[in-house]
């Protein structure tokens, strides 16, 4: 695990946190990297990272599949790119029926598809095979969503999976280091002055701004791009 000089930092907002995080990911510039931001809060962070390391930017929607009757306990996940995995051993151990799990999957898939339509429209997931995939969120508390994201991304056969967040609980970072090839946290603990919920409108604006930037000749490593 690498926290690359993690310390206590107070970020003004997610965009500022993304700039700090990007500075710790510069060694991935020029390595055919794609930044996958977990919406919604991970998108402002991922936008800054992708611009500064000149990487593709996409979203990666993950919905945890909770144990029927105990939905807080994750037994699997569904994710962008029609990826699904369920821990069948856990189901057998607890005697959970396939029908009960299918009902949960159906509910979560409806929400995943809604978010896919909302944020991506008809655009397919960016190809991930044989690429460095950097999964970005705005923070790592329990890490359950990020763990599901790592496992889902692995099914696309990337060359390397990197977990990156501006802030994270030390214990969670240690757990994720067993799943990812690299983990980068800029700070230990959660320190944001402004942690207001990211809106759908902000997600759209940032994704569109990144597309415009790349259509006109590459990333904005200097940090002088127009702020959407």
User: Would you call the peptide bond into 40 cis, given omega within 30 degrees of 0 as the criterion?
Assistant: yes
Same fold? 14-60+125-215, 62-120? no
Query: Any idea of the CA torsion for 83, 49, 225, 208, to the nearest 10 degrees?
Result: 10
Tell me yes or no: is domain 62-120 CATH 3.30.360: no
Contact predicate 218/53, CB 8 Å: no
Contact predicate 56/35, CB 8 Å: yes
Tell me yes or no: is domain 14-60+125-215 CATH 3.40.50.970: no
Q: For Cα atoms 115, 147, 41, give the angle at the middle one, nearest 5 degrees.
A: 45
Structural domain boundaries in the chain: 14-60+125-215, 62-120
Three-state DSSP at 33 gives strand
Query: Percentages helix, strand, coil for the chain, rounded to the nearest 5?
Result: 40, 25, 35
> Along the 228 residues of the chain, how does pLDDT read in single tens digits?
544 444 556 788 888 999 999 999 999 999 999 999 999 899 999 999 999 999 999 999 988 888 888 887 888 888 887 788 888 888 889 898 989 999 999 999 999 998 888 888 888 889 999 999 999 999 887 787 888 899 889 989 999 999 999 988 888 888 899 999 999 987 765 565 655 677 778 787 887 888 787 765 555 444 444 456
Q: For residues 106 and 117, what is the distance between their CA atoms, to the nearest angstrom?
A: 17
Q: For residues 150 and 167, what is the distance between their CA atoms, to the nearest angstrom?
A: 18
- Phi, psi dihedral angles at 13 (to 5 degrees): -160, -175
| pTM (2 d.p.) | 0.78
């Amino acid at each position: 695990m690498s926290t690359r000089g993690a310390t206590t930092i107070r970020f003004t907002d997610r965009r500022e946190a993304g700039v700090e995080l990007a500075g710790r990911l510069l060694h991935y510039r020029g390595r055919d990297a794609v930044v996958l931001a977990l919406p919604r809060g991970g998108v402002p962070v991922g936008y800054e990272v992708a611009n500064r390391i000149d990487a593709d930017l996409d979203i990666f929607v993950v919905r945890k599949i909770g144990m029927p009757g105990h939905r807080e306990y994750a037994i699997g996940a569904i994710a962008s790119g029609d990826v699904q995995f369920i821990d069948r051993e856990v189901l057998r151990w607890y005697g959970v029926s396939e029908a009960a799990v299918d009902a949960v999957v159906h509910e979560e898939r409806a929400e995943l598809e809604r978010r896919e339509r909302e944020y991506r429209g008809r655009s397919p997931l960016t190809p991930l095979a044989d690429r460095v995939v950097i999964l970005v969120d705005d923070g790592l508390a329990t890490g359950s969503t990020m763990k599901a994201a790592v496992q889902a991304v692995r099914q696309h056969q990337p060359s390397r999976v990197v977990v990156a967040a501006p802030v994270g609980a030390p214990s969670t970072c240690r757990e994720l280091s067993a799943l990812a090839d690299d983990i980068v946290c800029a700070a230990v603990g959660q320190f944001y002055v402004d942690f207001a919920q990211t809106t759908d409108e902000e997600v759209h604006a940032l994704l569109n701004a990144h597309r415009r930037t790349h259509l006109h000749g590459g990333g904005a490593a200097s940090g002088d791009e127009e702020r959407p």
